[in-house]
Amino acid sequence: MRQITSTFLVVLLAASAQQRPQTGQNAPTGGRGTARFGATTQLVVEDVIVKSKDGAPVEGLKPTDFSITEDGKAQKISIFEYQTLENEPAPAPPVRPPAETIAAAPAPPAQPAVKPVTAIQIAPEKPGDLKYRDRRLLVMFFDMTSMPIQDQMRAQSAAQKFLRTQMTRSDLMAIMTFSSDIKVVEDFTDDRDKLETDIKKLTVGEGQGFETQDSDDSTADTGAAFQQDDSEFAIFNTDRQLSALESAVRMLGSLNEKKALVYFASGMTRNGVDNQAQLQATINAAIRANVSFYPIDARGLVATAPLGDATKGSPGGQGMYSGSSARTATAKFQGQQETLSTLASDTGGKALLDSNDLSLGIVQAQKDVSSYYIIGYYSTNEALDGHFRRIKIAVKDAATAAKIAKLDYRQGYFAGKQFNKFTDTDKERQLAEALLLGDPVTDMSLAMEVDYFRLARDRYFVPLAVKIPGSEIELARHGGAESTRLDFIGEVKDAKGTLVGNVRDNIEVKLKGESAQQLAKTTLEYDTGFSVGPGTYNVKFLARENQTGKMGTFALKFVVPDLTTEQKYLPISSVVLSNQREKLDAAVASAERDRKLLAEHPLVQDGQKLIPSVTRVFRKDQNMYVYLEAYQPAATTTQPVVASVSFYRGKVKAFETEPLQVTEGLNAKTKAVPLKFSVPLAKLQAGRYTCQVSVLDPTTQKFAFWRAPIVLLP
């Protein structure tokens, strides 16, 4: 998929909007004004695992059985649910018939690979929502940089064994990998076939090349010339591994449920205290996100010969005679496992070391995440200061508490922050999580129009236009800002959920001067475009104003028809209605200028772009520009086409243009005949109309028509 161009324009609203009385902060000086009330609440959700002394989950507790405090202040429980998780493995899926007995379906045209607009692909959930009710959330994380090829193969086999024989009905699995960067291979799902396929597709040998060569007594004597010790690079490699784990748990932090991350690695080498800061940051992030680490040493049970095995040369020097090299190798191996143990113990998990059955580590995580209580409360501390707040949960009844071995829960959290205190990382993460939310964000109003035009037999250009009322960013101007930035992020996915296009852009908007005075009477328009094949698509687009943090989401399902298969009617493109043309040189910004595709943009002609009227609201003193394309797939020269534009009020035709006959203009590549109208609206009375565009091809005796409602203002 190729992104075409993105521009940002300021379009004046109808004149009647200038006469409407202003309210709130824009009210006349002598008016009463409008009262505004605001409140800040923070919902805190805790997952509490309650086990008896025999290790069984304790069921039947009620909200009144628990007491909860935040920084020593009692809190009122508002949300209370018990999550019941199964422990028995689910039956194995039915065996599929051999591949040769399945009729091969014709492969659809391959879509160009599209890199996700954000690296975060773990779909979040809204505060207080339980997206995965009664489900156990397990993540398999394959650290390809720390595992040699044989260990990568062993880790994949263990994961496949667990999926086939030990996965329960309550389990949801996600898959992540780390090589050059962290990648979410699969979001949480219980589809074993999909998970197994994903694991089989992992590239064996990926992530290699980060090994370092120490110059201690255990180093193999290769006979090479002396080289500088590169052990200092291990510091940065270990930090990269720990940072990847930190990023992974931050992705999982938006989910309220208890999570377990199974970490496949061949140990982790720390260099004294040099990696201590990143290690602590990773552990803190895991505790905040309610994630427990379950590291698995993919090397399994290792029996190391005193002078090394056959895979490397023996060490040289006197260390091989004094036993120093053997002691150094053993200490190094134990240190690598000690780091894994630290990750596990400090986050409430367990490490699997010195075992050849690596799937036992996943089973351990499965058993530890047993049935648990979800307890939520609205904090009495409403300050959005980002500070850490300590939580203490206890069982009130002494007799019940005596039967409980322990309460496993998150010991605290960091409070939310006001938007003006967000870092760049916070802002980017907020955008990514908002885009992945199932429910839309409605702080800001958006309107969007999606059209389609044929580029080739199996490719269509899809322009996307978004309008934002200028009043939505007026609050930023009242705050004294001279300018603000609008962030845009969007994704287009096909019917199977595969990403086929995205956009990530930002535009500066001036708030001072004449443009600011007219801000409430204008609309802000952003447009971009994609190239896709015929099919059904879902587009989700989000905009954010960066002074107040207001966001708005618009989601739309649209269909790009295969016009080459149309036999009954005359195939036509989308119909674009507009009241403005804009010079390309006047565009404030452009995310990407692909000159080749820009030349094929049907709405760009003679250095001007036709701006779609997303809301389809016009004034009587304007001209309505109408643009569409009729397609003649089998033609080599232009076949005459006749078209007209009509306006209806109910069933009564109020106005109709003179028939437009087009006898030339066929595009040899797209087989399109462009049809253009400029309709003066002064002849019509103000009101609501139905606009109809009719097209007839006399040669083939085919026709087409299109209808849409419009509003005409005085």
Question: Which residue bears the tokens 């007491």?
Answer: 67
> C-alpha distances in angstroms, 473 versus 443, 476, 551, 555?
11, 6, 11, 21
Determine the angle formed by the axes of helices 149-165 and 359-368, rounding to 10 degrees.
50
Residues of the chain with pLDDT > 70: what percent? 77
Amino acid at 328: T
* Position with higher pLDDT, 234 vs 451: 451
Per-residue tokens: 193: 């076939």
Query: What 8-state DSSP symbol labels residue 419?
Result: G
Largest CA distance in the chain: 105
**CATH number of the domain that 150 lies in?**
3.40.50.410
How many CB atoms sit inside 10 A of residue 292's CB? 23
359: in domain:
yes
Place of tokens 């590549």: 669
Rounded to whole angstroms, how far apart are CA atoms 48 and 67? 12
Phi, psi dihedrals of residue 520, rounded to the nearest 5°:
-70, -15
- Looking up tokens 């399109």 gives 672
Q: Give the integer Cα–Cα distance in Å for 125 and 141.
A: 21
- For residue 635, report the phi and psi dihedrals to the nearest 5 degrees: -85, 145
**Residue 666 contacts residue 635 (beta carbons within 8 Å):** yes
Nearest residue to 373 (alpha-carbon basis) of 410, 346, 344, 322: 410
Q: If you ran DSSP here, which 8-state letter would residue 513 be given?
A: S
Does residue 296 sit within a domain? yes
How long, in residues, is the chain? 714
pLDDT for the residue 641 = 93
91-105, 197-211, 240-254, 289-303: which range is least confident on average?
Answer: 91-105
Q: State the CB neighbour count (10 A cutoff) for residue 408.
A: 18
* Residue 390 structure tokens: 């300590």
Ramachandran angles phi, psi of 28, nearest 5°:
-60, 155
Measured in degrees and rounded to the nearest 5, phi and psi for residue 73 equal -100, 130
The residue range of the domain holding 338 is 113-211+231-370
Task: Count up the domains in the chain and report the number.
Answer: 1
User: How many angstroms separate the Cα of 59 from the Cα of each of 83, 373, 404, 588?
Assistant: 10, 9, 11, 61
Strand partners, 57: 51
Residue 277 lies in a domain: yes
Structural domain contains residue 361: yes
The alpha carbon of residue 668 and the mean position of all alpha carbons in its chain are separated, in whole angstroms, by: 40
Full-model pTM: 0.64
Average pLDDT score over residue span 542-571: 88
> Are 619 and 681 spatial neighbours (Cβ–Cβ below 8 Å)?
yes
Look up residue 108 and give its DSSP letter: P
Q: What is the pLDDT of residues 670-699, one digit of tens each?
A: 889 999 999 999 989 999 999 999 999 998
Range with lowest mean pLDDT among 123-137, 608-622, 655-669 = 123-137
Which of the two residues, 18 and 402, has the higher pLDDT score? Answer: 402
Q: What is the pLDDT of residue 707?
A: 94
| Residues 406, 408, 411, 417, Cα dihedral to 10° | -160
**Helix, strand, coil percentages, rounded to 5, for the chain:** 25, 35, 40
Residue 454 lies in a domain: no
Per the listing, tokens 């499965």 go with 366
Residue pair 662/673 in contact by the 8 Å Cβ criterion? yes
Dihedral of the alpha carbons of 364, 367, 368, 372, in degrees to the nearest 10:
160
pLDDT tens digits, one per residue of 480-529:
667 788 888 888 999 888 888 888 888 887 776 655 556 667 778 888 88
Asked if residue 170 is part of any domain, the answer here is yes
Q: Where are any strands of DSSP class E within 409-452? A: 412-414, 447-450
Looking at residue 700, its pLDDT comes to: 86
Whether 355 is in a domain gets the answer yes
Beta-carbon neighbour count of residue 73 at 10 Å? 11
| pLDDT of 371 above 90 | no
Residue 589 has pLDDT above 60, yes or no: no
Q: Radius of gyration of the chain from Cα atoms?
A: 32
Could you give the CA distance from residue 607 to residue 644 in angstroms, rounded to a whole number? 26
Q: How far apart are CA 416 and CA 433, in angstroms?
A: 15
Q: Which two three-digit tokens encode residue 79?
A: 């949300």
- Predicted local confidence at residue 11, as pLDDT: 38
What does the alpha-carbon distance between residue 359 and residue 357 come to, in Å, rounded to a whole number? Answer: 5
| 72 located within any domain | no
CA 176 to chain centre: 15
State the Cα–Cα distance between residues 530 and 600, nearest whole angstrom.
12
User: What is the C-alpha separation between 143 and 46, in angstroms, rounded?
Assistant: 29
pLDDT per position as a tens digit, 173-206: 999 999 877 888 999 999 999 999 999 999 888 7
Residue pair 697/630 in contact (Cβ under 8 Å)? The answer is: yes
User: What is the DSSP-derived secondary structure letter of residue 63?
Assistant: G
Please give the single-letter amino acid code of residue 48: V
